Amino acid sequence: MPAITAPGSAQNRQPSILTQTPLMALAIAAFGIGTSEFIIMGLLPNLAEDFHVSIPKAGALVSGYALSVTIGAPIVALATAKLERKFALLLLMGVFTLGNLACAIAPGYNLLFAARVLTALCHGAFFGIGSIVAANLVPRNQRSQAIALMFSGLTLANVLGVPAGTALGQAFGWRSAFWAIVPIGLIAATSVFLLVPKQPPSSAHLLHEFRVLRKPQVLLVLAMSVLSSASLFCIFTYIAPMLETVTHVSPHAVTLTLLLFGVGITIGNLLGGSLSDWRPMAFLNGALIVLIITNLILPFAEPFPIPAVVMILIWGAIQFAAGAPLQSRIVDQASSAPNLASTLNQGAFNFGNATGASLGGMMLTAGYTYRQLPIASAIVTCAALALAIISTRLDQRHAPQRVEA
């Protein structure tokens, strides 16, 4: 007769998620990818001057990256679907490192643009496959935490990587920032090679990978990812001029605020991953409601420095806490085609980036003010909440009925 172990004893207690060194390896890779993605924003003036192009044309390096993730990443995911997942991650990190090397030595704007597009192809596919690997490393009730820990590298890139890279690029030229990312890619690849265990590829046929898009719950997750990201970037894209013209703070204070924003999204990402393992859809619905309220308060806080900074920190934390359950949900809902669906979700987030930035830009061009951007963001979040409620009801409808005694 097996020994009976008391609940909460050492034998029953699950190991801490923080002891999973493979997750740390994935987080290092996420840090490098996040730094490479966002660093371009702080270097636009330097790039425009060096290549003798306008700021809007230099800004196409940002939108081109996002569109490459959206369109190209699913193709890369399908191309790597039959590869052993650890090997696929190593291959993607190799292309990422070469892409940043090409950025550092690009002699002209067009070649730099091409190098950015190449680098972006690795972005969505890496996070898509990495999410599946992270989810498979832990018990089912820790999946959201595991994925959030991997994505913490992406949020830490906004706290450490982007400010450091921007300062390096401003001091020694924009190419030095990309040169600095190359060793990060090598360290990440080495960490994945040494720490991440092998995982078999998806057993689904490529045609079956596409069939998963017929599932309403999968489409709902993708739509929610687009809307949540659009809600974020409708404001975040224009946060620096908003702080300077509405809150009337110095450029140094803007940098400090963005640093605090990075801290906020890091906390929100980890907290959201932990709490959403409890009741994922209930947490998502609650987080979206709080986010709507935060967006409605933000316009009133913007004219005052301390309330504005506090609300931006809270807003960033809730935004990323609300996004944490979506990646784990796509893994659950698309278990027959995890590679494609998980990567499509990354494309959805990036499509939301471009959509939110365009929405904010159109509003400002039409004569609306920075203080009205959070109102638009709140409306977009309401749409995401409506989809989340529909998704919750579908879950309840398909839940197994309890058999009465």
Q: DSSP of 258-288, one letter per residue? A: HHHHHHHHHHHHHHHHHHHTTSHHHHHHHHH
Asked whether residue 34 is assigned to any structural domain, the reply reads yes
Asked whether residue 403 is assigned to any structural domain, the reply reads no
Asked whether residue 12 is assigned to any structural domain, the reply reads no
For residue 303, the tally of other CB atoms under 10 A from its CB is 12
Last residue of a domain, one of 201, 226, 261: 201
Packing angle of the helix pair 109-136, 21-42 (nearest 10 deg): 150
Asked whether residue 1 is assigned to any structural domain, the reply reads no
Q: How far apart are CA 226 and CA 346, in angstroms?
A: 9
Asked whether residue 270 is assigned to any structural domain, the reply reads yes
Token pair, residue 118, equals 């190449």
Token pair, residue 37, equals 């993605």
pLDDT attached to residue 203 = 61
Secondary structure letter of residue 370 according to DSSP: G
Token pair, residue 200, equals 């078999």
Q: How far apart are CA 297 and CA 311, in angstroms?
A: 8
pLDDT attached to residue 181 = 93
* 274 in the same domain as 193: no
pLDDT attached to residue 89 = 93
291: closest CA among 315, 311, 264, 275? Answer: 315
pLDDT attached to residue 208 = 66
* 44 in the same domain as 134: yes
Q: How far apart are CA 391 and CA 401, in angstroms?
A: 18
The rounded Cα 388 to chain-centroid distance in angstroms is 19
pTM of the prediction? 0.73
Last residue of a domain, one of 201, 219, 240: 201
* 228 in the same domain as 170: no
Q: How far apart are CA 83 and CA 75, in angstroms?
A: 14
pLDDT attached to residue 12 = 42
Token pair, residue 327, equals 């990646």
352: closest CA among 332, 325, 323? Answer: 323
Q: Please calculate the CA angle 168-123-161 and round it to the nearest 5 degrees.
A: 25
pLDDT attached to residue 183 = 95
* 68 in the same domain as 49: yes
**CATH code, domain with 105:** 1.20.1250.20
pLDDT attached to residue 97 = 94
pLDDT attached to residue 110 = 92
Residue 100 domain boundaries: 18-201
* 271 in the same domain as 184: no
Last residue of a domain, one of 201, 230, 264: 201
* 54 in the same domain as 135: yes
* 196 in the same domain as 297: no
* 184 in the same domain as 93: yes
17: closest CA among 162, 144, 116? Answer: 144
Asked whether residue 315 is assigned to any structural domain, the reply reads yes
Asked whether residue 174 is assigned to any structural domain, the reply reads yes
* 117 in the same domain as 71: yes
Chunked in runs of 10, what are the mean pLDDT values of the chain (405 residues)?
38 51 90 87 76 75 81 79 87 93 92 91 84 82 78 81 80 90 94 88 64 82 92 84 86 78 83 76 91 95 93 91 79 69 78 83 85 95 95 79 41
* 219 in the same domain as 361: yes
Number of domains in the chain: 2
Cβ-contact 330, 345 below 8 angstroms: yes
pLDDT attached to residue 123 = 84
pLDDT attached to residue 295 = 96
* 249 in the same domain as 175: no
pLDDT attached to residue 91 = 93
pLDDT attached to residue 390 = 93
* 230 in the same domain as 190: no
Asked whether residue 116 is assigned to any structural domain, the reply reads yes
pLDDT attached to residue 152 = 81
Cβ-contact 180, 172 below 8 angstroms: no
